[in-house]
């Protein structure tokens, strides 16, 4: 063994950096963090408006590509995952959504005892330093700064007003009492910089001296003594290294990499492991299964006034924006531009929102390319609780081979109906009087695309991932054969090994996944240290009083 530590954490991302900070907080424990990626320095990551760049750069991204999707006409969607300090919190869109209380009620009902809303709310408060959030729902002294953009483009207010004209509510804080409705978006940006978990948690942890970070460390497998995890086998600069954990090994490598490492280490579906040439140590059929994601479309409308961000897409404007950000950390470069969000229920009988809107005052793809029409705006819209499930499976036992990632998007018939409702409800909002001064023709799907068949064709050809994979190491009851970790994040059937990241989510949460992933790291830290969980909250969040009978 090269070195010995109390804890070894695999992955420096949303949960990993959080746990490094909390486990080493009192200075008495030694922690090793293994991260395959490198530095997060530079404007591509730190400038919020540059968000489309790092997730398309192999330097920062694992560059995973999912298998062809039958329901998407055989298209293969990319699956960006952070390969850098801060993990995916360093390449994401910086949109901060806790999820809905109903999500955590489902988690608890699925066997994740102690993960109900009353249990997780104190951890969201502990991690946050909210600027502009709703008291007393939000945290005010945590490491993670959460801010709001200026929302000075008139399209933001017009869109929220249109939603009210359509019969929805405005909400002052979708992360507070009431998620349902439309309002200002929260983002993990502070003083003009991306406030990733590398900035919020990892750097302060490293300054204490008891946390060691190894970059360029490609984890091969977990080392066991019988059925107890005792260390990690990894490569660095082509040389094999071993590190020993006196207390525990903790996987925080994310929804794609954590199940791979478990499978390579002999924990997973026996038949799959045997086919990959891996000896079976502990058969857990759920490892790599239950893969979920959010699928969305870009609903784009031409703008009648030249007020959108399209005017800034030329090289000269980008240079000016970049210079202002570089010298002053201000201007358009200091925002992710997703400054308005909305959450609605798709139909009567749905108890809490199952459709999310991101509003953007420009018509553009996530890779930064704009349509030829020029000025426009768009809604990123999609269903929150797809019934489709996929998987992550190793192809062989080597750490350098990318796994098979199959999402099985839209494989459940209900998903198509949900998506059609997204399009039609969006048209209803955009058709309100508040949008009259701005609303031109539909760029996509197109004003004449109204039938189920036409909308389905648009979805098949244009739906994109929102990059929210989760669920592949599902948390549940110890006697649940499909569960992989128990409610304290311990791998069932193995000692000294935990998983804490988005892979343990029983079901995908309502919104973007960065906030719940950080919360998972916060809560898991108390479980790992054997501390009593934070006291349950007594706050009762909003539930629409007529949800059983009305859609809005």
Which of 31, 34, 27 is closest to 12 using CA atoms?
A: 34
Q: Are 260 and 403 in contact (CB under 8 A)?
A: yes
**405 DSSP β-pair partners:** 392
Please tell me what DSSP assigns to residue 471.
-
**How far, in Å, CA of 263 to CA of 397, rounded?**
8
Q: How many helices (H) and strands (E) does the chain have?
A: 13, 25
User: Who contacts 66 (Cβ-Cβ below 8 Å, separation ≥6)?
Assistant: 76, 77, 78, 79, 405, 406, 407, 465
CA 285 to chain centre: 24
Using N-to-C axis directions, what is the helix angle for 154-165 and 413-430, rounded to 10°? 110
Separation CA 422–CA 143 (nearest Å): 36
Secondary structure class of 342 (helix, strand, coil): strand
Alpha carbon 241 to chain centroid distance? 31
Tokens representing 347? 């139909």
Cα gap 424→379, rounded to integer Å: 12
From CA 215, how far away is CA 228, in angstroms rounded?
A: 26
Q: Would you say how long the chain is, in residues?
A: 552
**DSSP one-letter string for 10-49:** E--SHHHHHHHHHHTTTS-S-EEEEESSB---SHHHHSGG
Collapse the DSSP code of 300 into the 3-class scheme (helix H, G, I; strand E, B; otherwise coil) and give the result.
Answer: strand
In angstroms, the CA 219 to CA 126 distance is 31
Are the beta carbons of 268 and 31 closer than 8 angstroms?
Answer: no
468 is catalytic: yes
Residues 6+ apart with CB under 8 A from 313: 362, 364, 370
C-alpha 4/C-alpha 242 separation (Å) is 9
The neighbour count for residue 238, using CB atoms within 10 Å, is: 7
* Residue 219 assigned to a binding site: yes
Taking the C-alpha atoms of residue 68 and residue 401, their distance in angstroms, rounded to an integer, is: 18
Is the distance from CB of 34 to CB of 43 less than 8 angstroms?
no
Query: Token pair 């590509």 is at which residue?
Result: 65
Distance CA 325, CA 28 (A): 40
Instruction: Write the DSSP assignment of 211-234 as a string of letters.
Output: EEEEETEEEEEEEEETTEEEEEEE
Both structure tokens of 97: 């959504």
Q: Which of 391, 468, 527, 544 is catalytic?
A: 468
Rg (CA), the chain: 23
List active site positions: 468
Residues annotated as binding site for FAD?
A: 84, 219
């Amino acid at each position: 063994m090269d070195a010995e530590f109390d804890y070894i954490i695999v992955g420096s991302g949303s949960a990993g950096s959080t746990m490094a900070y909390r486990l080493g907080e009192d200075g008495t424990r030694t922690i090793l963090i293994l991260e395959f990626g490198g530095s997060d320095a530079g404007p591509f990551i730190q400038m919020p408006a540059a968000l489309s760049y790092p997730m398309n750069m192999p330097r920062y991204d694992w560059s995973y590509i999912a298998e062809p999707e039958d329901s998407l006409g055989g298209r293969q969607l990319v699956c960006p995952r952070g390969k850098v300090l801060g993990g995916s919190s360093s390449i994401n869109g910086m949109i901060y959504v806790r999820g809905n209380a109903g999500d955590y009620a489902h988690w608890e009902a699925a066997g994740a005892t102690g993960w109900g809303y009353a249990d997780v709310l104190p951890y969201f408060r502990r991690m946050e330093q909210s600027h502009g959030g709703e008291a007393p729902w939000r945290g005010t002294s945590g490491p993670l700064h959460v801010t709001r953009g200026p929302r000075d483009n008139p399209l933001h207010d017009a869109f929220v007003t249109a939603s009210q004209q359509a019969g929805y509510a405005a909400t002052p804080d979708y992360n507070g009492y009431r998620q349902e409705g439309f309002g200002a978006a929260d983002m993990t940006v502070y003083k003009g910089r991306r406030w990733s978990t590398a900035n919020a948690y990892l750097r302060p942890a490293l300054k204490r001296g008891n946390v060691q970070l190894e970059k360029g460390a490609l984890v091969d497998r977990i080392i066991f003594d019988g059925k107890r995890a005792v260390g990690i086998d990894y490569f660095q600069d082509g040389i094999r290294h071993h590190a020993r954990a006196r207390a525990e090994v903790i996987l925080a490598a994310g929804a794609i990499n954590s199940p791979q490492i478990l499978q390579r280490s002999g924990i997973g579906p026996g038949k799959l492991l045997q086919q990959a040439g891996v000896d079976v140590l502990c058969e857990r059929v759920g490892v790599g299964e239950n893969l979920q994601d959010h699928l969305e479309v870009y609903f784009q409308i031409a703008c009648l006034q030249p007020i959108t961000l399209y005017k800034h897409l030329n090289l000269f404007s980008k240079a000016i924006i970049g210079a202002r950000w570089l010298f002053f950390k201000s201007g358009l470069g200091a925002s992710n531009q997703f400054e308005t969000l909305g959450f609605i229920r798709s139909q009567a009988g749905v108890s809490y929102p199952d459709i999310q809107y991101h509003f953007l005052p420009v018509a553009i793809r996530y890779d930064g390319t704009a349509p030829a029409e020029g000025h426009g705006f768009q809604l990123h819209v999609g269903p929150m609780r797809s019934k489709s499930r996929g998987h992550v499976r190793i192809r062989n036992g080597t750490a350098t081979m990318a796994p098979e990632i199959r999402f099985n998007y839209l494989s459940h018939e209900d998903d198509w109906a949900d998506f059609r409702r997204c399009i039609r409800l969006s048209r209803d909002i955009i058709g309100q009087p508040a949008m009259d001064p701005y609303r031109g023709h539909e760029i996509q799907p197109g004003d004449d695309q109204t039938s189920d068949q036409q909308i389905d064709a648009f979805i098949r050809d244009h739906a994109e991932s929102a990059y929210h994979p989760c669920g592949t190491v599902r948390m549940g009851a110890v006697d649940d054969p499909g569960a992989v970790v128990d409610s304290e994040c311990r791998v069932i059937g193995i000692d000294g090994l935990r998983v804490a990241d988005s892979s343990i989510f029983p079901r995908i949460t309502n919104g973007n996944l960065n906030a719940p992933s950080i919360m998972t790291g916060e809560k898991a830290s108390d479980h790992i240290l054997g501390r009593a969980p934070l006291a349950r909250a007594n706050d009762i969040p909003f539930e629409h009083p007529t949800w059983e009978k009305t859609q809005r």
